[in-house]
Chain A
Amino acid sequence: MAQARPLARALATLWRDRAARVALLFLGALALAALLAPLISPHAPEATLGINTLNSVPPSRAHWMGTDPASRDVLSRMLHGARISLAIALLSALLASGVGLVYGGVAGYVGGVMDGIMMRTIDALLSIPRILMLITVLALWGQVDVASLVVLLGLTGWFGVSRIARAAALAASAREYVTAAHALGARRSRTFVRHVFPHLTGPVLVAATISVGQVILLEAGLSYLGYGVPQPNPTWGNIIRDGRETMSTAWWLTFFPGIALISTALAVNTLADRLRTALNPRQLDAP
């Protein structure tokens, strides 16, 4: 209840910023299109419409984004692809920030040797490139379903978040009201949940938003390399993969998903940046 007011104020601040508004509207429209994909796409995403007559047709009024070499409608695949790509990105970012929030929060609050051990572990894990880690696991695993991919992306994405959460926890623990809470006899666990944890959510929300953008690109990259969501499920990365050999003749196969990827990542990053400003505690504390 006490949190609702600052959050509402932050959202209002966000809406007043033009770039943030554009980003929000774009992402909102995208999310809506993804949700309604089964209703609004002209064809089923896996339907081959005529393997000899309708393969690799350039964009036209019948097929706004053309068709692929298997004669599937690219627009329908894009819409269904958005569902999978966005769902993977959101869920794995959620998982990553949840884990990172708790891990980093505890490390920063507990401090001392415990903090040292926990954060050196993070340093070690961060020194391995995430894409390498993912490819290794996926190569060993063989084919994965979407749920496993979400878990995998989530569990490799929280190291950076935990650093941010730790820094915020360190700062919050040094506040006088934390000492005051101890002086009034609150347990350490209670003080953490009540007085430290709420101060982590802002910075972690920003980090989570950034990681949504990263994961969208990462998932596309994995799909492109053939390690992502299995065919014939459409994801933006898969569509680009389908078009990679015919890029010079059938440009629409790579162009539309590429544009979608770039715009989404850009919108998400803009949003994250403006969110950081809007969640500034100085603005939260102002009367």
Chain B
Amino acid sequence: MSEPLLRVEDLRTYFHTEAGLARAVDGVSFSIARGETLGVVGESGCGKSVTALSLLRLVQSPGRIEPGSKIWFEGRDLLTASDEEIRRIRGNRIAMVFQEPMTALNPVFTVGDQIAEVARVHDGASRRAAWERAVEMLALVGIPSPRERAGSYPHQLSGGMRQRVLIAMALVMNPALIIADEPTTALDVTIQAQILELLADVQQKFGTAILLITHDLGVVAEVASRVLVMYGGMVVEEAPVRALFAEAGHPYTKGLMRAMPRVGMDRERLATIRGTVPPPTAWPSGCRFRDRCDFAWDRCAAEAPTLLPVSSAHVARCHLLDEGGDQGPHAHTAAGAPAGGAQ
């Protein structure tokens, strides 16, 4: 098997704040193959956006990527690359699509101008050539009469169109990897579907790998081939998308699934996960989810779980999976069989 496009090893991004050390991303490892879509799911504050920013070294002070972290991309470690090298990678080999299409576009420039900027920055393209490229990109992302739209200001476009513009900006240099941070969160449902379709389309056409960050399992189910579930700055579960929906291995993932509305559901209220995400300055000892977990027992406080296999290529960070452990099985069968947790 050849080297994956992106391989992240033990990524730790800490914020050295006055309120204490916030371990926003704490030992995350994953990889993405060429042309693959990896979904990253989790609640606000689970570290998924900081992970994305870390990949491009865009974390702002007081945030810092700790020594020992490794980000391998196309055979080199991005964390030891020079500022100039990383600048050449940004927007060129790895591009980012931001969440809020209103705020990620500068209100005082036309959208054509902003798309053209990418080509000018990386290719040194002339004004005219860059503008032509921008028009081409707008056509590619399905904006009608792209030549006229290129002269529009962001406020003259709808939310869906603006999101298409952001995707067009990401596509200009035909990157190997697109990081999409909640690309559909600010949009209404029908537009969401269109944007997801566009991303899938782009991937088919150009073989671009996509890192899709979202809090919406439905979005993941639609486009991702593999899923990373994050909680408390860590990966708590990693699985192929089918395997995850067939049998979630972590109580947190199960909770997320139960919180999702389904067609034909006859319950009045959706299930919720009790409590809130603890602040990253004060993760609980042992398992970081234990305060909110229905199955937690004393081992969960004493010992941090590691990623354990659920099935092939499917791992979860939970003591319940540790069949060999001698305190666990009795306690958890008493609390309710893990499979029974789904319904």
Contacts and interface: CB of A to CB of B under 8 A. Distances in A.
Interface of A: 2-3, 6, 111-112, 175-177, 179-187, 190, 194-195, 198, 281, 284-287
The 10 A-B pairs at the shortest CB distance, nearest first, are namely A184-B91, A185-B91, A185-B90, A176-B103, A183-B96, A177-B106, A180-B104, A176-B104, A2-B109, A285-B107
A94 to B, nearest CB: 23
A185 B118 CA distance: 8
Given A190-B121, A285-B155, A287-B156, A183 B91 contact: yes
Given A112-B61, A180-B98, A183-B96, 6 more contacts: A6-B108, A184-B118, A184-B169, A185-B90, A186-B121, A198-B108
Nearest to B122: A185
Nearest to B92: A185
A187 B90 contact: no
B89 interface: yes
A6 to B, nearest CB: 7
20 contacts: A2-B110, A2-B113, A2-B153, A180-B104, A182-B58, A183-B91, A183-B96, A183-B98, A184-B96, A184-B169, A184-B170, A185-B87, A185-B89, A185-B122, A186-B117, A190-B121, A194-B106, A194-B109, A281-B107, A287-B155
A183 B61 CA distance: 16
B88 interface: yes
A112 B96 CA distance: 26
B294 interface: no
B121 A195 contact: no
B288 to A, nearest CB: 28
Contacts of B122: 185
B49 to A, nearest CB: 11
**Which of A179, A195, A286 has the most chain B CB within a 10 Å cutoff?**
A179
A151 B122 CA distance: 41
Contacts of B103: 175-177
Given A175-B103, A194-B117, A183 B108 contact: no
Interface in B114-164: 117-118, 121-122, 153, 155-156
B318 interface: no
A195 B106 CA distance: 7
Interface string B65-101: 0000000000000000000000111111001101010
B105 interface: yes
A3 B108 contact: yes
B50 interface: no
B186 to A, nearest CB: 11
B56 interface: yes
Contacts of A194: 106, 109, 117
Contact of B105 (A2, A3, A177, A198): A177
A183 B155 contact: no
Contacts of A185: 87-92, 118, 121-122
B105 A183 contact: no
B317 to A, nearest CB: 30
Contacts of A112: 61
Contacts of A181: 117
Contacts of B106: 175, 177, 194-195
Contacts of A195: 106
Contacts of A111: 61
Contacts of A281: 107
A253 to B, nearest CB: 50
B90 A176 contact: no
**Which of A112, A175, A183, A190 has the most chain B CB within a 10 Å cutoff?**
A183
B87 to A, nearest CB: 5
B118 A183 contact: no
Given A185-B89, A190-B121, A179 B108 contact: no
B117 A184 contact: yes
A187 B90 CA distance: 10
Contacts of B95: 183-184
**Which of B106, B110, B121, B153 has the most chain A CB within a 10 Å cutoff?**
B106
A182 B104 contact: no
Contact of B87 (A3, A6, A176, A187): A187
Contact of B90 (A3, A184, A190, A198): A184
Nearest to A182: B58
A253 B4 CA distance: 86
Nearest to A175: B103
Contacts of A177: 103-106
B52 to A, nearest CB: 9
A187 B84 CA distance: 9
Contacts of B153: 2
Contacts of A198: 108
B297 to A, nearest CB: 43
Nearest to A172: B106
A30 B61 CA distance: 51
Contact of A284 (B87, B107, B169, B170): B107
Contacts of A2: 108-110, 113, 153
Contact of A184 (B108, B113, B121): B121
Contacts of B170: 184
**Which of A175, A177, A284, A286 has the most chain B CB within a 10 Å cutoff?**
A177
A190 B118 CA distance: 12
Contacts of A179: 58, 98, 104
Contacts of A175: 103, 106
A220 B1 CA distance: 82
Interface string B39-59: 000000000000000001010
Contacts of A176: 98, 100, 103-104
A214 B9 CA distance: 60
B90 A182 contact: yes
